[in-house]
Structure 1
Amino acid sequence: MSDNQEQKLSDNERLKRESNFLRGTIAEDLKDDLTGGFTGDNFQLIRFHGMYQQDDRDIRAERAKQKLEPLHNVMLRCRLPGGIITPQQWLAIDTFAAEHTLYGSIRLTTRQTFQFHGVLKPNIKSMHQMLNRVGLDSIATAGDVNRNVLCTSNPVESEVHQQAYEWAKKISEHLLPKTRAYAEIWLDEEKLETTDVEPILGSTYLPRKFKTTVVIPPQNDVDVHANDLNFVAIAQEGKLVGFNVLVGGGLAMTHGDKSTYPRKADDLGFIPLDKTLAVAEAVVTTQRDWGNRSNRKNAKTKYTLERVGVEAFKSEVEKRAGIEFAPSRPYEFTGRGDRFGWVEGIDGKLHLTLFIENGRILDYPGKPLKTGCAEIAKIHRGDFRLTANQNLIVAGVTPQHKEQIEKIAREHGLIQSDVSQQRLNSMACVSLPTCPLAMAEAERYLPGAVTQLEEIMAKHGLADEHIVFRVTGCPNGCGRAMLAEVGLVGKGPGKYNLHLGGDRIGTRIPRMYRENIGEQEIMQELDTLLGRWSKERQEDESFGDFVVRVGVIKAVVDSAKDFYD
């Protein structure tokens, strides 16, 4: 079905084909102490092992003046299906972050896992070996593969959550690369005299990155429409019975290229639990064979569906999986934010959700968050759950430990009574100074921007309200701004495209309202619009719904056709 066999393949296809199943010459490159970075194809290949080469852009110019190469280092993203990590694992990553990274922090991400930032070349192998010792790895958290599988961090429906989480783990394991390159390079395991085979991903892997989630309604905390493949949990009488399957979501686009756009996922139908892995494999292999390998900007699953048609894609998945989709079962999303504070699960155990602004766990003056998390880990007998909104859940707390854990959390600034609803519902990607793709600030801009928003909201009598506000430093979508009520997409230093009109539950894509405007203009626009919202809104009407209803912005109905109208 692919129409690009006659076209020249992108260079990434050559790179994967010649990589010897993702080995390249990474092992040799590690021994080269003349540079702190990776050279040639290895710069890209390390992504399949969960790492991106970066440098500190704040000091790049100064180092160039000193005739020094950029301060090369890597960011590592852990594979953590469903975001669950044990206290023992947490303490191990806490120690490594403190002793072997440039920034000393643990960064919780929108992919429901953690990242190390600023790992220098001599520490890379020991980092992987530390993860392996505690039962973790970073296999396939980047590159043209299925990445970390997300799962709703729902601690209330304990039994359904456990079942859904187990499926998230199974899907992750089933879709992993089968090459032993990771074990050979990072764990010093012996190369076996066998022929490498990739029965699902193929010898040149996928055309582009691929993201999968398991979501438990009514919470859409994983933002299903940001992902290639989504399994919407359908429960009956407290038991998981199957999934609705949604395919073809994605938020990335390229400035100035109207052939790229964010897109919502399509609902293919319902499947019983025993068909889950077969359908996951069929969707991945269909995208493997039909995806665009010539133009990486149009290589994601969303563009494959637009090119071949949803029904053709669905029929191929049914044929490969040996199933027929049943009509989708009814479900409803009512929210996607995390529920902060203490919540009691149906099993009687307690769960404490902690707000971590920007997901950055570090000891700040008067707010030693990182130390606090470690102190909790030392006494906690349950687990930690990382959320796709960059927050942290201390899960499975027995009633006798509640008071002690809350005391530690309050003493270390992990619980604060004065955090506004607006701050709790705002999010940003990492961006500068470490991300090489960043065009504008995001993580460092967000706190101050929220403070300004809080002042505007209070001015209009909206202090107890919130809008879903997100900032991403470039159009690649990591901050999921293209599912926000107000989304800022970086265009250049201090400049953003302002998007409006997404809905509160994450099922509508916002449209660009103003292009390439500065921070002051953004707040002036929001001041005017929030003032109108406070006076003209209908009962319980969200900001995103309001601006669409009154004609401030036209709703995006079919982004392939009308996103740029």
Structure 2
Amino acid sequence: MSKLNNEQVKAESQGLRGPLSDDLASSDAFLSEAGKLLIKFHGSYEQTNRDKRGAAAREYIFMVRSKLPGGRLTAAQYLAHDEIATHHGNGTLRITTRQGIQFHGVVKGHLRDTIRELNHALVTTFGACGDVVRNVMCCPAPTDNPKRLAVQRFADVLCAETLPKTKAYHQIWVDGQAIVADEEDPLYGATYLPRKFKVAIAFAGDNCMDIFTNDAGLIALFDEDGALAGFNVIAGGGMGVTHNKESTFARLADMVGFVTPGHAVEVIKAIVTVHRDFGDRTDRKHARLKYVLHEWGVEKFRQELQSRVTFPIEPPREMPTFVVDDHLGWNQHGPDAWSLGLPIDSGRIADVGDQRVRTGIREVVSRFVGEVQLTAQQNILLSGIRSADREAVEAVLDAHGIVTVGRISGLRRNSLACPAMPTCGLAISEAERVLPRVLGELDQVLEDVGLPGHPIVFRMTGCPNGCARPYVAEVALVGRSLDKYMLYLGGDVAGTRLARPFLDLVPLGSVARTLKPLFERYRDQRREAEDFGDFCDRLGLDTLKAIVAEATAASQPQPVA
């Protein structure tokens, strides 16, 4: 079978319809090749259960992803997701690193009901995947402060303004297929974007969004009176890499300029059109906006962007140094309103053994919560809890074995993992399923060397595409082959520096042993308040490799004289 031409399929899709209606009506458990591509725009991926070997045992299942601007849901919308997971998914919810919710294990016959029920809850999956602007992320800190509400509105508007204008979504999933296609999309054109496009909004000083890993971003700045002054604009970030292909690489976004609030939406849309017009449509591995910035330089990009808008793009404004607030624990956000941020391992909300996380959160949300926010760290914030209900909330959590932030290590608090096996077709190695084991081994090593519970930003992915943003972590494992990983070191806590490849093909069982001598040297030689990633960056890879080599040699049996 010849390789599918993505650009041709998009051009001939009649507004992202293609064969989807026929595919859904078919008795086959899978989609046509064109349908498999186009359904991504509608928020779903066809997958197989890779734990089941052989063609005869192949089980076709679908991932469905909801698109939630800023990760914000009402309590009713969260409960609708929870109910759908029971009736149509595998009984779990998974918070994504882009503040959405994924259902896993949906069979083709349940796709339409899943999407239709989300639509009834005023939630869409349209544009959650595919070559369009994905979910617009925003700092999730719950507060009644007008600053937070003003910035959230930009996420809402940007999601609406960048949603494809075709009526295909409602016609296929909600209302029934229509014969007449739409006119060409005014933002995307006939072939949409060369690849996906990621946008995030951060507050100056808080990089809980990993803002510089996005194709485009807005950093909100406020004046002395607390009014929104405008946004510093960034462009050209991205995480995806292909092993052994030097033309692909992770990149942090460049600072492009400053715009006032009234021009923020238009400047992002203009950046989207630059990607549309100049992104590489011949090689999908080289099709992200970051390669345009890399090849042009920021000055040429800024000139092209300025030519596409009618307002001046000012020089970037000064802003405070970034730190990261994960918003976990109890936080007051009103006279009688609290939020509780709960850590969720790899974002997987599930009932496993004595830890009935999904059931417990459902009870808390249904009884005590007004709003839910999802974080870029795959955690959940439960908001609108009254002061009088705090003890009752904690009692529910304890009864369901739900661990709160004060009872986990700093390493676990700062960890992310992608789903990887068995559902992701791109995964080379495990990630989510082995993360607890890896964290347990690393926490034990940290305790052994005298750094118990020490916070380290750790991320793990089953392939180099970077869904868990490993390339800005202090320590990261990126799937390389079965049970072997590329080990990255040297990113910073604030997410403003790239990690670098340190050792290749590290067996999973050797990770803790490999890092132990580095933790020991960090314990002995770190500067005051120096984080592990900064320590690694200061020493440099050659010195770090020498430390590991020396420790390895010392651990080998010595020949008998």
- TM-score bucket of the superposed structures, by smaller chain: over 0.9
Give the one of 93, 102, 107 matched to 1:120. 107
Q: What is the total number of aligned residue pairs between the two structures? A: 540
Q: Secondary structure at the match of 2:503?
A: strand
2:512 is the alignment partner of 1:523: yes
Q: Deviations over 1:493-528 (max 9, x none)?
A: 110000111011000111111011102332222101
2:13 is the alignment partner of 1:26: no
Shift of 1:387: 0.5
Higher relative CO (CA 8 A, sep ≥ 6), structure 1 or 2? 1
Q: Deviations over 1:377-431 (max 9, x none)?
A: 2113420001110000001222233222222222222334531111111110110
Q: Secondary structure at the match of 1:267?
A: strand
Shift of 1:461: 1.3
Counterpart amino acid of residue 471 in structure 1: M
Shift of 1:194: 6.9
Give the one of 198, 208, 225 matched to 1:211. 198
Q: Secondary structure at the match of 2:40?
A: helix
CA distance in 2 between partners of 1:71 and 1:321 (Å)? 49
* Partner residue, 1:72: 60
The answer as to whether partners of 1:501 and 1:553 remain within 8 angstroms in 2 is no
2:322 is the alignment partner of 1:322: no
Q: Deviations over 1:271-293 (max 9, x none)?
A: 00000111011100111011111
Q: Secondary structure at the match of 2:476?
A: strand
The answer as to whether partners of 1:460 and 1:530 remain within 8 angstroms in 2 is yes
The answer as to whether partners of 2:14 and 2:181 remain within 8 angstroms in 1 is no
Unaligned runs of 5+ in 1: 1-8, 556-565
Q: Deviations over 1:237-269 (max 9, x none)?
A: 322221000000001010000000000100011
The answer as to whether partners of 1:335 and 1:504 remain within 8 angstroms in 2 is yes
Give the one of 218, 239, 257 matched to 2:227. 239
Task: State how 1:247-266 maps to structure 2 within 5 Å.
Answer: 247-266=235-254
2:503 is the alignment partner of 1:509: no
Shift of 1:182: 0.5
Q: Secondary structure at the match of 1:41?
A: helix
Give the one of 36, 40, 49 matched to 1:47. 40
* Partner residue, 2:425: 436
How does the TM-score come out when normalised to structure 2? 0.93
2:388 is the alignment partner of 1:388: no
The answer as to whether partners of 2:369 and 2:383 remain within 8 angstroms in 1 is no
* Partner residue, 2:49: 56
Unaligned runs of 5+ in 2: 545-561
Shift of 1:10: 8.4
* Partner residue, 2:555: none
TM-aligned CA distance change 1:410 to 1:238, over 3 Å: farther
Task: State how 1:101-116 maps to structure 2 within 5 Å.
Answer: 101=89, 103-116=90-103
Q: Which moved more, 1:513-522 or 1:284-293?
A: 513-522
The answer as to whether partners of 1:105 and 1:360 remain within 8 angstroms in 2 is yes
2:132 is the alignment partner of 1:138: no
CA distance in 1 between partners of 2:451 and 2:541 (Å)? 19
Q: Deviations over 1:38-68 (max 9, x none)?
A: 012111110000000001101133xx3xx34
Counterpart amino acid of residue 32 in structure 1: S
Give the one of 93, 100, 104 matched to 2:81. 93
Give the one of 142, 146, 149 matched to 1:155. 142
Q: Deviations over 1:416-450 (max 9, x none)?
A: 45311111111101100100000000001111100
The answer as to whether partners of 2:14 and 2:182 remain within 8 angstroms in 1 is no
Q: Which moved more, 1:534-543 or 1:302-311?
A: 302-311
- Runs (4+) of structure 1 exceeding 3 A deviation are 189-195, 552-555
Q: Secondary structure at the match of 2:407?
A: coil
Shift of 1:156: 5.2
Task: State how 1:324-403 maps to structure 2 within 5 Å.
Answer: 324-345=312-333, 349-403=337-391
Give the one of 153, 175, 179 matched to 2:162. 175
The answer as to whether partners of 2:4 and 2:33 remain within 8 angstroms in 1 is no
Shift of 1:142: 0.7
Shift of 1:531: 0.6
How does the TM-score come out when normalised to structure 1? 0.93
The answer as to whether partners of 2:136 and 2:158 remain within 8 angstroms in 1 is yes
The answer as to whether partners of 1:100 and 1:123 remain within 8 angstroms in 2 is yes
